[in-house]
Amino acid sequence: MNTQPEILQVSNLFFQANYEIPIYQRNYAWREEQIQQLLDDINTSSHNYFLGTLIVNQKDLDSYEVIDGQQRLTTLFLLQKYLKMSVLQGSLYFEAREKSNHTLAMLGKNNLPEELLSQEIMQGYKIIETYFYNKEIDKSKFIERLDNVQLIRIQVPSKIDLNHYFEIMNTRGEQLEFHEIAKAKLLSPLSSIEDKKVGALIWEACSKMDTYVQMNFNIHIRKKIFSSDWNKLRSSVRDFNEVKEKITNIQQNEEDTAPKTLLDILKERKKVKIETRADIEENERFESIISFPNFILQVNKTLSQSNENESLLDDKNFLRNIQHHWESEESCKNFLFNLLKCRVLFDQYILKREFAKDYKEIGKWSLQRIEAYEDRKKGNLKPKYVGTYDDGSDINDNKTLRTLQSCLRITYTSPKTMHWISIVLKYLMENEDVNVLSILEDYCKEKVKQSKFLEAKGFAIERIVFTYLDYILYRDGYRYNQMLVISPMKDNWQFQFRNSIEHFYPQNPSNSELLNKWADEDLNSFGNLALITVSGNSKFSNLPPNGKVSSYPSIIEQSLKLLIMNALINYNGGVWNESIADNHKEEMFALLKAECSL
């Protein structure tokens, strides 16, 4: 058994060894964001690029149990299967998961029975397939790059409790992360212990992204640095030193050791329990659309002088991008304060996922601000959440902006492409009364124009064209021959994570005896295309348009453009042909051209 770390070429990873994923590990769970990031890293890699570590327990000669790194390992397996590389049968195996193993063996084959397949693995494979198609990547050159990409395989110590080891690694993580290094770098130049404590307090509060930042401070600090309704920083809190002054005063007050009665102590304990329970509920309710390291990069880009530097959101350059913030004590304090200020604005003006009431399991898009209200029975302040723009001026303002932001979220899924967030934060830092909806609509219009959608065909049509069109249809509604097809602000409709371009009339009709193949020009025209989920694309398969409409109405609901196509079929007696698709394209293009002033 080799106990020394081994450097492995990714291209030979499955040719020289067999890997087993033990039953105590979770199923394959990577989605487009993680898969695309991995593929981008490989595609832009230089010589001897290091992809990460693989922690294993060697069971036999060239046979390993995977302890950590299975998500990346499974994705690399799917990638090599897609590239038709020399991947031996059974070189990746899931313990006691026959459906997963069957799916790995059948990858790349057509017309597979859905009930026998792992949908998570099939979606991963489809994402890889779509990535190569959209970016028109040369597969042979990509395979050559894999020769320069390396993993380090590390053997766990012998006689170790593997279940316990796996649990610890997934709870704590085994490596120091870049944002932890950044924290040390930012706190180091601060000259006093008090400054370091305040800096650490701000950092820790901002790092908990799945709650509103106000709730990450104890109630005493919350009252001092935020307004009476908790909605924003107090006007008297304008920099790091003023935050420190407020907190120092609290700490001095808390040092008061006046004697307390037994009743006082019992009341305090009861209050702490109530606040603790409220904090737990808070943490379970919301989910941020970006991680804390990505938020740090967004703040850095917000504070920069240029919106044009695309690499500022690339986490491969994380430390290099932000290192100028720890050049002096003054720059450290300035960044830490702006981190807090941006986080307050982010929570109020950038959407989250909310898991509450009817959406406790699946979540819904949420654009809300936090407000304090007094619980008269218990005599303390508690948080409530109201729409950011639900101030009585226009009840649709909040719904419209929430829908537009979710349009951007599902279009630009990789954190390094979410430039719209820093653009909004930059404007808000200058003037909080700015029209965020107008800013983001202008951003989308420019992206649509840059896509050159009028000339693009098929998979070359950028996702923003489909998603922004759906936003326009949601905002304004749509009529066909005086018939209302989509009402403005369509009730209960929201964007889903859609990244698969669907040919409404199929590329390869399942009943080829009755259905003729369309010419490529018509087949790949915008009028015959819609954007749906990967699983929806798999279900639609090669069904004819009327079969898709009748069999899968819930998938039709995913896209407002698809709802119009459905209405056109009904209007034309069940027929969908080249002429109808072309007229639909011209009408949709007319909406986009009017919106973008083309």
Supply the DSSP string of 26-52, one letter for each residue: PPP---HHHHHHHHHHHHT--TTEEEE
Higher per-residue pLDDT: 284 or 568: 568
Q: Are 200 and 103 in contact (CB under 8 A)?
A: no
Contact residues for 528 (Cβ-Cβ < 8 A; gap 6+)? 503, 504, 505, 518, 522, 581, 585
Mean pLDDT value of segment 468-480:
96
Closest to 290 in 3D by CA, of 299, 281, 282: 299
* CB atoms near residue 250 (< 10 Å): 16
pLDDT in tens, 319-346: 889 999 999 999 999 999 999 999 999 9
Q: What is the mean pLDDT of the chain?
A: 85
Comparing 181-185, 452-456, 573-577, the range with the smallest average pLDDT is: 181-185
What is the 3 state secondary structure string of 476-518? HCEEECCEEEECCCCCCCCCCCCCEEEECCCCCCCCCCCCCCC
Where exactly are the structural domains of the chain? 6-172, 179-387, 398-598
pLDDT of residue 154: 84
Identity of the residue numbered 61? L
165 in Cβ contact with 66 (< 8 Å) = no
Q: Is the pLDDT of residue 179 over 60?
A: yes
**Residue count (the chain):** 598
Q: Which of 536, 554, 437, 443 is nearest to 126 (CA)?
A: 536
The count of other CB atoms within 10 Å of the CB of residue 470 is 25
Phi, psi of 492 (to 5 degrees): 65, 5
Decide: helix, strand or coil at residue 362: coil
Residue 483 contacts residue 541 (beta carbons within 8 Å): no
- Dist CA 433 CA 312 (whole Å): 26
Evaluate if pTM is beyond 0.85: no
Question: Which helix H or strand E contains 248, and what residues bound it?
Answer: helix 240-254
Q: Please compute the mean of the pLDDT values over residues 123-139 and round it to a whole number.
A: 90
- Give the integer Cα–Cα distance in Å for 408 and 405: 5
C-alpha span between 15 and 9 (Å, rounded): 10
Residue linked to tokens 């954190």 = 415
Which of 516, 518, 500 shows the shortest CA–CA distance to 562?
500
How many Cα atoms sit within 13 Å of 322 on the Cβ side?
30
| Contact partners, residue 67, CB within 8 Å, separation at least 6 | 55, 56, 57, 156, 162, 165, 166, 169
| CB-side neighbour CA atoms (13 Å) of 433 | 0
Task: Give CA torsion, residues 484, 485, 488, 494, to 10 deg.
Answer: 160
- HEC per residue, 271-338: HHHHHHHHHHHHHHHEECCCCHHHHHHHHHHHHCCCCCCHHHHCHHHHHHHHHHHHCCHHHHHHHHHH
Interaxial angle between packed helices 139-146 and 32-43, expressed in degrees from 0 to 180 and rounded to the nearest 10: 80
57 by DSSP, 3-state: which? strand
Burial class (CB in 10 A: 0-12, 13-18, 19+), 175: exposed
Q: What are the residue ranges of helices labelled H in 107-211?
A: 119-135, 139-146, 162-172, 178-187, 193-207
Q: Which pLDDT does position 256 carry in this prediction?
A: 39
| Measured distance CA(81)–CA(88) in Å, rounded | 10
| Average pLDDT value for residue range 134-139 | 88
- Give which of 512, 555, 511 is closest to 530, Cα–Cα: 555
Which residue's structure tokens are 């996702």?
A: 463
Confidence of residue 9 (pLDDT cuts 50, 70, 90): confident
Note the pLDDT of residue 385. Answer: 93
- The percent of residues in the chain predicted with pLDDT above 70, rounded, is 86
Say what angle helices 329-349 and 292-303 make with each other, to 10 degrees: 110
Instruction: Tell me the per-residue pLDDT of 559-568, one tens digit each, with 9 for 90 and over.
Output: 999 999 999 9
| Whole-number CA gyration radius for the chain | 27
pLDDT tens, residue by residue, 194-229? 899 899 999 999 999 999 999 999 888 999 999 998
Displacement of CA 324 from its chain's centroid (Å): 27
Residue 593: pLDDT over 60: yes
